[in-house]
Amino acid sequence: MARSTGRAPAPGGAGAPGGVPGPAAPGPGAARVDAHGHIGGPVPAHAPRHPWFAAARRILLVAVAAVVLGGLTSWGQLLLPAETASAANSAGGWTIPTALLVLLLARTYPEASLAGAASFVSLTLGYAVASGWRGIAFDPTTWAIIGVFAGPVVGCAAHALRRRGMQLALGTSVLAGILVGEGVYGLTVVADTTSPVWWWIEVAVGSAVLVAGVLRVRPWGLALVALTGTVLVAGLFWSAFVLLPILVFRG
């Protein structure tokens, strides 16, 4: 008969005498037991953050950046040279930063839509505040309302550039069409009162967006969709800008 050593097996781990496994570490929400066997309160559990929390944070970041850019737009009208001053007084001057912010930060179409609207409205508010500091009265209501409707379109188009197929073709059409359309508007309708430099820059940037989209889109037949869509959007944008002063500011 084997002699007993008189020692109780030590608890814990695979290396414990007799192969008896030790107690597992308490998981989140489980009761804690101290060295004397007293039961304490539950282990605090860290609840995972809802995906909308991260989305809201990204949208807020877009809005904050847009407020700053909107303020810079107002000062740009004062400080930019005459050749590029129209950049601070054009839809493209707000479309480009909005599209870039959404393209970099948004993860889904709903998020891109909200971020686009937040960007355009924030750009308008930032412009209004900076203009007030300059002693210029500006009512942001009209352009904020326009931004509520135009912002989601630009936001979704920018997010579509991250996708493939028809989504990429349509997103390319919208962004390229806006930039080319306003560039042509500047070169034709307001050519007598503004420098052509910025308008040509817009046409060049819009054309670059179109070329980049055409080179990436698959199947190749969708390149025709992107090209045709760009021409249609550019025509609609040109027409809208011709009619907007009549319908909104003179009506």
Q: Which amino acid is at 195?
A: S
**Cα separations in angstroms, 177 against 86, 99, 162, 190, 246:** 18, 13, 18, 19, 22
Does the bond joining 81 to the residue before it have cis omega, within 30 degrees of 0? no
Q: What SS3 class is residue 8?
A: coil
- Per-residue burial over 131-142, b = 16 or more CB atoms within 10 Å of its CB, e = otherwise: beeeeeeeebee
Q: What is the pLDDT of residues 104-161, one digit of tens each?
A: 999 999 999 999 999 999 999 999 999 999 999 899 998 899 999 999 999 999 999 9
Q: What is the pLDDT of residues 42-71, one digit of tens each?
A: 555 555 567 789 999 999 999 999 999 999
Q: Which two tokens stand for residue 87?
A: 């950049």
Q: Which amino acid is at 60?
A: L
Domain boundaries, the chain: 52-162, 165-242
* Among 58, 74, 165, CA closest to 113: 58
* Among 221, 226, 197, 231, CA closest to 90: 197
Q: Which two tokens stand for residue 213?
A: 């989209």
pTM: 0.77
- Give the pLDDT of residue 27: 52
